[in-house]
Structure 1
Amino acid sequence: MKELVRYGFILGIICFLASGILAVVNAVTEPRIEIEKEKEERLALKEVMPDSGNFEPVSKDGEFLYYKAYDSSGRLNGFVVKSESKGYSSDIEAMAGLGLNLEITNVKILSQNETPGLGTRVTEPKFLGEFKGKDLASLSEVDTITGATISSSAVINSVKDKISELKETLLKEVKNAK
């Protein structure tokens, strides 16, 4: 019996030390992870709005809404929206660039953990390229991916829903910029 208590005590100490080490590693790596996420987001902004040089985040009540995109001369030339929806096996986060006429310039998948070989196909250029030049009314023309219908529909619908949600606000921004 004494040996059982001793093993339990040793195991408890090992677990305590392991959790302490994990906490320290998390505290050390968390700022680096945030810096990398910000860097990836800046690259994604340039990818979805390649003609823009500056991006200004717009928030309301502390909640991020969208980015205003400005060209090199400081004129508003579009917007960037972020959307998230549930795919087949994970949340899918997407970013879409919009011109002043609210036509999509490009779409990029920021994060997903879908089934490899199926759901991950939403990141392929062929699928994402179908969004280019589409507006809210023509997004239904984007084809879903065979074998990844849930994942591709999630991307299409999340982008469509986000543009619908912000449409009036973005059109006011365009009107005010002129």
Structure 2
Amino acid sequence: MKELCKYGLILFLICVTSAGALALINKITKPVIEARAEENLKSSLKEIIPEALRFETMGPGSETIYYKAYGKDNEFLGAAFVVQAKGYSSVIETLAGIRRDGTIIAVKILSQNETPGLGSRVTQESFTAQFADKNAAAFEGVEAITGATISSGAVIQAVKQKSQEVLALLKANEK
């Protein structure tokens, strides 16, 4: 019985030490990870709306967060937003830019873990380039990828829905 208690105590100490070490590592690395994620978002925003000189975060704390893009002389260029869609096997995180008139500027897949060779084709430019200059209300001419219709369809629907939400917010903020 004493042996059993001894082993139980040793196992408990190992677990407490491991949990403490993981908590400490998390505390140390969390700010670095968050800063790197912020840098990645900023560079991706510049890819989506390259003419933008600055971005203003709108709606923090709300369900719809988007980024207003401004160019020379503080001219409003459009807005960008991140949307998540459930693909075939993972969540697909997408960044899209939209002009005030409702046309899509560009779309970029930020992260996905879809089936390699099939669903992962949503990251290819042949798919994402279809969105450029399409009207957010109609999305005519954006075709799903053969063999990856669930993943590509999810991206199409998510970008369409979120772009309409952001357009409504932009119009509401103009007044």
Q: TM-score, structure 2 length as denominator?
A: 0.90
> Separation in 2 of the partners of 1:29 and 1:168?
38
Indicate conservation of the 8 Å contact 1:95/1:107, yes or no: yes
Residue 83 (1) aligns with residue 77 (2): no
Indicate conservation of the 8 Å contact 2:92/2:113, yes or no: yes
Q: How many pairs align?
A: 174
Q: Secondary structure of the residue that 2:74 maps to in structure 1?
A: coil
Indicate conservation of the 8 Å contact 2:100/2:167, yes or no: no
Q: Structure 1 stretches of 5 or more lacking a match?
A: none
Residue 13 (1) aligns with residue 9 (2): no
Q: Which segments of structure 1 move beyond 6 Å, counting only runs of 4 or more?
A: none
Name the counterpart of 2:166: 166
Indicate conservation of the 8 Å contact 1:54/1:72, yes or no: no
Q: Secondary structure of the residue that 2:83 maps to in structure 1?
A: strand
Q: What value does the CA root-mean-square deviation take over the aligned residues?
A: 1.8
Q: Deviations over 1:137-178 (max 9, x none)?
A: 4424211112221111111111001112233332355x66xx
Indicate conservation of the 8 Å contact 2:84/2:93, yes or no: yes
> Separation in 2 of the partners of 1:15 and 1:172?
54
State the Cα distance separating 1:11 from its structure 2 match.
1.4
Q: Secondary structure of the residue that 1:27 maps to in structure 2?
A: helix
Name the counterpart of 2:113: 113
Name the counterpart of 2:92: 92
Q: Secondary structure of the residue that 2:59 maps to in structure 1?
A: strand
Q: Deviations over 1:2-39 (max 9, x none)?
A: 32332222111111111110000000000000000100
> Separation in 1 of the partners of 2:90 and 2:140?
23
> Separation in 1 of the partners of 2:98 and 2:164?
12
> Separation in 2 of the partners of 1:57 and 1:169?
13
State the Cα distance separating 1:42 from its structure 2 match.
0.2
Name the counterpart of 2:130: 130
Q: In structure 2, give the amino acid aligned to 1:40.
A: N
Percent identity between the two aligned chains: 45
Name the counterpart of 1:149: 149
Indicate conservation of the 8 Å contact 2:134/2:140, yes or no: no
Q: TM-score, structure 1 length as denominator?
A: 0.89
> Separation in 2 of the partners of 1:172 and 1:59?
13
